[in-house]
Amino acid sequence: GFLIAAMNRIAREHQLSRDQMVKLVQKRLIGFDAEPVTAALCVANMILRGDGSSSVHRGDCFTAEEFPVGKASVVLMNPPFPHKNTDASPEMFVERALEGLAQGGRLAGVIPLSLLVKKDKRPWRQSIVRDNTVEAAIKLPDELFQPYAQPYTVVLYLTKGIPHPKGKSVFFARIENDGYRLKKGVRIPCDGTELPKALHAYQNKISEPGFCGWAPLDSDIS
């Protein structure tokens, strides 16, 4: 659904025909999912909804030969939030995504907030800012993934390969309303989404007390 929504938005905003969209997806989209049912559903859904096909592979992004090391311009990701005994941590997915990006490529990932605040994650944060620039960190609604995963998540937006400049201002925002609300365990549409406002604030360097602002990274991050 996420890929289809992105595909439809690109086609609408750039006035692309279906044939143009199919060619674009075939050449410019690549994805991996180790879960066979999820991968198959993704491909089937993309085909049925009108893009023709997709380069979504059933495979492990850490070992797949098709993984495009150093080639991607943009990575969009929501890595799994594992239990203690699972193998791949969210940090590993972020690092692998950065490997897939070309120099100056952009990464936007939904990650656990704990990666940005826990003391034992500080060495990892330092390794990220040593080689990459943090552009934004946007806190998402607490119930976003309930009841399936931990409630506290953030969109981390990075630019690859450019060490984070000392004193650079980063965009921080807290989204309370993303256009959905939780009702009896199900998220249903509601009015008042703050997502467009956050995007506008980021693009225009706007600060709004209690909602968003710009500030250098503190010592606990960097």
**pLDDT tens, the chain, 222 aa long:** 777 787 888 889 999 888 888 888 888 888 888 888 888 888 888 777 765 566 788 888 899 888 989 999 999 888 887 666 666 889 999 999 999 999 999 999 999 998 999 999 999 999 999 999 999 999 999 878 766 666 689 999 999 999 999 999 999 999 999 998 888 878 889 999 999 999 999 999 999 999 999 999 986 555
Tokens representing 128?
């990220």
Tokens representing 220?
């606990």
d(CA 174, CA 185): 22
The whole-number pLDDT of residue 150 equals 62
The whole-number pLDDT of residue 85 equals 60
HSE-up of 192 (CA within 13 Å, CB side)? 7
The whole-number pLDDT of residue 221 equals 59
Residues near 198 by Cβ (< 8 Å), separated by ≥ 6? 138, 173, 175, 211, 212
The whole-number pLDDT of residue 163 equals 95
Question: Tokens 């979504």 belong to which residue?
Answer: 56
Q: Where are the alpha helices (DSSP H) in 17-168?
A: 18-28, 36-46, 90-100, 114-117, 122-131
pTM for the full predicted model: 0.85
Look up residue 147 and give its amino acid.
P
The whole-number pLDDT of residue 86 equals 61
- Three-state DSSP at 29 gives coil
